[in-house]
Chain A
Amino acid sequence: MSAAPTPVPAPGEDRASAPAEPRAPAKDASQLRQKQLFADYFETLAHAREAGRKVVYTFVPGNVVELLGALDLLPVLPEINALQSAMRKRSAAHIAEAEKAGHSEDVCSYVKCDLGMLKSGNIGPTGTRLPEPDLLLLSYTGCFTFMKWFELLRQEYHCPVVMLHVPYQPDGVITGEMRRYVVDQLRHQVVPALEKVAGRQLDDEELRRRLTRSRQAEDDLVAVWESARHRPSPIDGYFGGVYYIGPIFSAFRGSEDAVAYYRELRSEVEARLRRGEGPVTPDGAAAAERYRLVVEGPPNWTHFNDFWRMFSREGAVMVSSTYTRVGGLYDTGFRHDAERPLESLADYCLGCYTNLGLPSRVALLERYIRDYQADGFLINSVKSCNSFSAGQLLILRELERRTGVPGGFIESDLVDPRYFGRANIENRVQSYLQMLEARRGRSAA
């Protein structure tokens, strides 16, 4: 079990990098804990059938893993499999397999990576076989493609599907009608479908215990995010941040393991803060902080560490990001609430970042730029994700107009390596950082 590779490669483990890689830095205790968590999780999935465990596929945004955990159901999150395949350089083959089967080059590469993986034997990112689903829980939150994705999977697995349609928040307000719609779906359709698969009734007390633990982890995660308000920031809130969201966005929210992970992570970050240290990067301790940036959009996963190094080697630190809010937006105050379990699950789903209208997204980014005293902001626009990408050029203009802070714009993709033009992206990043430097020089003069 312990020999399994890290599900999410830690900083320094991405093998796509330029020659003369420095040695990977020593890992913090929280990193080792997360590595073990995921290794155990995939091992559990690999033996789920022998162990008689039931498996539910669902998506990251709007997932209700507390319900699954309370019924001892194992979640599988296809986006996580896709991004991990990309980090291990397997996504190109999976995408090719899907396109060979007739899937368009125009559509989401997460979907094609997942379908290609399925066609290739459903061997997961750690090299173990993923179990087939007993149920597809279609948490349709913030992304239209999710719906098509599970229609496609249903044709492959011929298993039941239960829909959780989460209404969009065009005006940044959760209305009573929206909440009631989600709560009623949970109460009358989702919970009964999960109970049927689990073969037992939901234990309300166990659900409350899990929601309480979710809240504890969320408090600690928010403290980690907000540590980046300090100079120098002790964390990278984008590249480093995607590691921090690993447990809470996936299978572990509501578990004791997640509580322990976030407590440990917070403690490490606070210690770095006291010591005045910057983030840990793929090359070890970060260079001195020169630029503080906010990022909009998902990262590229196929060249993750290469992309990170383009910034970290220049002393650019990502102090906050929106991608790290896609599976839960906690730093505006939301917490899971054991006193109103289904209502707070509904509010969680409704509040995920990509479920917010563009005006709300702009307002959140503006807040991050101001609160985190950013020198600039960067938009990584990924071809695969219209939910994120449509409108980003207007977001760029609007943020520059409101804040006076300059934005940079990069195009790449989630898991299709054909759309990561390294030289072009590096050139843009360099130009952008030089512009920030020149601007700083002008201000000083």
Chain B
Amino acid sequence: MTATPTPPLSPPPAAMADPAAGPLAEARRLVEDRSLDTVRAWKAAHPGALAIGHLPIYVPRPLLEAMDCLPVALFGGGDQVDIIRGDSYFQSYICHLPRSTVELALAGDLDALDGVLFPAICDVVRNLGGMWKLLFPDRYSSYLDLPQNLDPALGGRFYADELRRITRELVARGATPLAERALAAAIARENARRDALFALDALRRRQPWRVPASEAYLVARAGAALPAADHRALLQAYLNAALQRAVHRYDNVRVVVTGAFCEQPPLELIRTLELAGCDIVDDDFQLGWRYLEGPIPTGAGADGIEVLARAYLDLGTATASRYIGEEEKGAALVRRVRRAGAEGVIFAAASFCDPALLDQPMLEAALGAAGIPFTSLKFSENTGQLQVIREQAGAFSDAVKLWGSAA
């Protein structure tokens, strides 16, 4: 168990202007842009360029940027969308993300997009890709198969072929043909965004009272429809502002939240965990931003598509939608907990999320063997009943704080 310094409890600092208020307001505006006005503005400023949506978890956004496309990460409708037509396309035992995504599309909220990519993550998102072809036959959509065989000569080659196919399809729809120099530049911009995200995560681990997870979530999510360079600028602005804050430390428990890599919990759920006494020092929310655990290697003369493919194989993070062939299941989660100095884990999976829920017993076994306490909850993107979650998380944090375990 990692010892957490326990500061004396005292009231929070008197209300004062938060230097991070500006970046946070901008992040909130972007996150709440349900009808993709930002994308429309970008397209107006870039006549003829394509905006390409993509479902979770991971799509190599630099490839799109290199072709002068705007990648737009789609995370469903959250708790802001009334589901009317979307529900009529899915049985009650299917997770929530696809129904709100269909709802948004049928309502015209995704009309700014010139196409959508459906990466291989689970059977539901895969089939949603097929539904898209039936529902919107005149719009571009494509399934991006991600390799589960991670041998470079096998899965690596197949994945590079997949990326080349996507490239051809986009060019056929008006995207700029791929040039090595443009791809190298886009990879460099993505690496810079990643550096900013990792700096944010590092600060959050060191001083979670300075960067609450709910805020970090917001500024990360704000990048969904931003070019990498613009997102990096926003992240940096928030980071600089957060460092200027007058802060107060709380006697919270340090936890890792895992399982919400695709369908996202409502922001209020994250805040609820914080209010229940949990500092979320690591998580897999919006995992695509951090799917690669290191910078994409760049080098003179390298084939950019091969570089992207190799990065996926070598740097891809352990998550439920990725086959873990050699290592013991859960070992990566235990490492994350140790690295974050966390005292416990909260499993937060979307209801009916097969990958997360099938993975969970294996991860729990690994945590149990490592003596790391955990608790679990399920949510959907529009979960509104948060009191039970607050009580559960509060009991968990109390148990960890008092006894060093959740038992």
Contact = CB atoms under 8 A, between A and B. Distances in A.
B317 to A, nearest CB: 16
Contacts of B122: 144, 386
B361 A103 contact: yes
Contact of A358 (B134, B157, B321, B365): B134
B25 interface: no
Interface in A225-272: none
A209 to B, nearest CB: 28
Contacts of B94: 386, 389-390
Nearest to A391: B127
A149 B123 CA distance: 14
B133 A390 contact: no
Nearest to B322: A147
Contact of B324 (A151, A164, A386): A151
B299 interface: no
A53 to B, nearest CB: 26
B149 interface: yes
Contacts of A359: 130, 133-134
Which of A104, A138, A185: most chain B Cβ within 10 A?
A: A104
A381 B10 CA distance: 56
Interface string B343-383: 00000000111110111111011000000000000100000
Given A152-B358, A170-B142, A144 B149 contact: no
A181 to B, nearest CB: 4
Interface string A379-397: 0010100110111111000
Nearest to B324: A151
Contact of B123 (A145, A155, A177): A145
A188 B329 CA distance: 25
Interface string A169-211: 0100001011011001100110000000000000000000000
A387 B125 CA distance: 10
**Number of chain B interface residues as a range:** 35 or more
Interface string B67-99: 000000000000000000000111101100010
Contacts of A188: 151, 153-154
A58 to B, nearest CB: 15
A106 B127 contact: no
Contacts of A168: 120, 126, 143, 145
Nearest to A413: B93
B338 to A, nearest CB: 21
Contacts of A357: 129-130, 133, 143
Interface string A385-422: 01101111110001000000000000100000000000
Nearest to B155: A165
B131 interface: yes
Nearest to A386: B123
A107 B135 contact: no
A189 B151 contact: yes
B325 A393 contact: no
Interface in B318-341: 320-321, 323-325, 329
A178 B165 CA distance: 12
A333 interface: no
Nearest to A361: B130
**Number of chain A interface residues as a range:** 35 or more
A42 interface: no
A386 B355 CA distance: 11
Given A390-B98, A391-B131, A165 B143 contact: no
B364 A358 contact: no
A101 B127 contact: no
B96 to A, nearest CB: 12
Interface in B130-173: 130-131, 133-135, 142-143, 145, 147-149, 151, 153-155, 157-158, 161-162, 165
A145 B329 CA distance: 16
B202 interface: no
Which of A149, A152, A177, A386: most chain B Cβ within 10 A?
A: A386
A389 B91 contact: yes
B124 interface: yes
Given A167-B158, A189-B149, A390-B128, A398 B354 contact: no
Interface in A83-112: 101-104, 106-108, 111
Contact of B359 (A148, A163, A184, A392): A148
Contacts of A390: 90, 94, 98, 123-124, 127-128
B354 A108 contact: yes
Contacts of A398: 134
Contacts of B123: 143-145, 386-387, 390
A170 B130 contact: yes
A161 B325 contact: yes
A381 B91 contact: yes
Contacts of A102: 360-361, 364
B89 A155 contact: no
Contact of A104 (B90, B149, B324, B357): B357
A152 B359 CA distance: 8
Which of B89, B147, B320: most chain A Cβ within 10 A?
A: B89
Nearest to B149: A165
A142 B123 CA distance: 8
Nearest to A108: B354
Contacts of B162: 177
A189 B145 contact: no
Contacts of A106: 93, 351-354, 357, 378
A386 B124 contact: yes
A362 interface: yes
Given A102-B360, A181-B147, A391-B130, 11 more contacts: A111-B358, A140-B148, A144-B321, A151-B324, A164-B149, A170-B129, A181-B149, A181-B154, A189-B154, A383-B93, A391-B89
9 A-B pairs with the lowest CB-CB distances in the bound complex, closest first: A358-B130, A148-B358, A170-B143, A390-B127, A181-B158, A177-B161, A104-B357, A165-B148, A386-B123
